[in-house]
Amino acid sequence: MKPAISILGGDMRQSYLAQLLRDDGYLTVTWGLEGGGGDGGVPLDQALEGDLLLLPLPVCRNGMLHLPLSEAELEVERLWPRLRYDQLLLGGLTSELSPRLMADYGLTLLDYYTREDAQAANAVPTAEGALQLAMEASDRTIHGSRCLVIGCGRIGKLLAARLAALGAEVTVSARKYGDLAWIQAWGWHSVRTGALDGTLNRFHFIFNTVPALILDAARLREVREDCVILDLASAPGGVDMEEALRLSLRAASAPGLPGRTAPRAAAAAIRDSVYHILEERGELM
C-alpha cells in the first residue's frame, strides 16, 4: 500500500510538491501551507499521523520550522516528541538535525536535498532561472554577448551550456587543472580563477557560483559599467554587494532560485528524490 504522506510547512515548492504527489495517486495532506494556493490543509494532529512526513527546505531557521506560507509558528523541538519511530521523516538540509534526532528520539530523518540526484535535478531550474534573471536585467541579448561563469560546479556547468547554446561567447573559471580541462572539453573558454584580474572588463554578464569572495571591491572596479552581475552562491555569496551598489553596477544576488522562477520544477526534483529514497529503502511505492 502506498504510504500516507504529510507535508509540514515550507514554501511554494512544498505546495507544488503536494499537488505532484496527489497527481501520482498518493494520499497527501498538508499543514502550514495555507498561503500557497492549495486547500487549507488539515489540523497539525492529523498531519502528524502520516507514514511519511515531508519537512521543509531548510527544515528550520533558528529552531523554528520553516513556515513562510503560514501564520503558524512551531518550534521544532516541540515536534519531535510527538512523532513515532516507525514514521519516516524527510527534510532538506538536515545534516545538523539528523544524528541528534536518532540519538534523542529514535527518529529517522533523511535528506531529500543533499543527495546527488536531487542536486543535479535542482541545478537545471537554477541555471534556467539564472538565465531568466540575466535576460530581465539586461538591455542586451545573451546572443552575441561575452559571459563569465565563475566556478564549474553543477550550476556553473549547466548555466555555461545554456549561455553557449543561446549564442554567447562563454568563459568559465576554475581553480583545478582537471576542471579547466573539462571546461575546454565542453567547448567553453577557460580561465584560472586566480587569473581573473585584468580580464573582467571584457564581460557583459558575470555569474558567480563560488561561495567565497571572488568579486571583491578591487575586481568590481574592473568590470564594465553596463555589466550584469548575478551572484548564485549561497549566503554570504561571492560579490561585494555594497561596493557594487556604490559603483552603481547592475549586481544582484539570486537566492531562492529555482523556487522563485520555477517552483514546479524544483518540486519535481524533490519528488523524484523522495521516490528514490523510498525505493532504496525498499518501501512500497
Q: Which stretch binds its own copies (CB under 8 A): 42-50, 102-110, 117-125, 211-219?
A: 117-125
Q: Which stretch binds its own copies (CB under 8 A): 83-91, 156-164, 206-214, 215-223?
A: 156-164
Phi and psi angles of residue 197, each rounded to the nearest 5 degrees, phi first: -55, 135
Q: How, if at all, do strands 52-54 and 64-65 pair?
A: unpaired
Compare residues 164 and 233 and give the one whose CB is closer to its own copies: 164
Distances, alpha carbon 33 to alpha carbons 10, 11, 17, 20, 54, in Å: 7, 7, 11, 15, 12
Phi and psi angles of residue 69, each rounded to the nearest 5 degrees, phi first: -105, 15
β-bridge partners, 5: 28, 52
* Among 53, 79, 262, 274, interactor with its own copies by CB under 8 A: 262
Indicate whether 124 belongs to the interface with its own copies (CB under 8 A). yes
Compare residues 55 and 266 and give the one whose CB is closer to its own copies: 266
* Among 69, 76, 121, 278, interactor with its own copies by CB under 8 A: 121
The sign one gets for the Cα dihedral 41, 267, 252, 134 is negative
Indicate whether 136 belongs to the interface with its own copies (CB under 8 A). yes
End-to-end CA distance of the chain: 7
Return the residues of window 56-115 that contact its own copies according to CB under 8 A.
Answer: 115
* Among 181, 212, 245, 285, interactor with its own copies by CB under 8 A: 181
Indicate whether 166 belongs to the interface with its own copies (CB under 8 A). yes
**Which of 131, 122, 155 lies closest to 259, judged by CA?**
122
Binding residues (CB under 8 A) for its own copies: these are 16, 115-121, 123-125, 128-129, 131-132, 135-136, 138-144, 158, 161-162, 165-167, 176-178, 180-182, 184-187, 258, 261-265, 272, 276
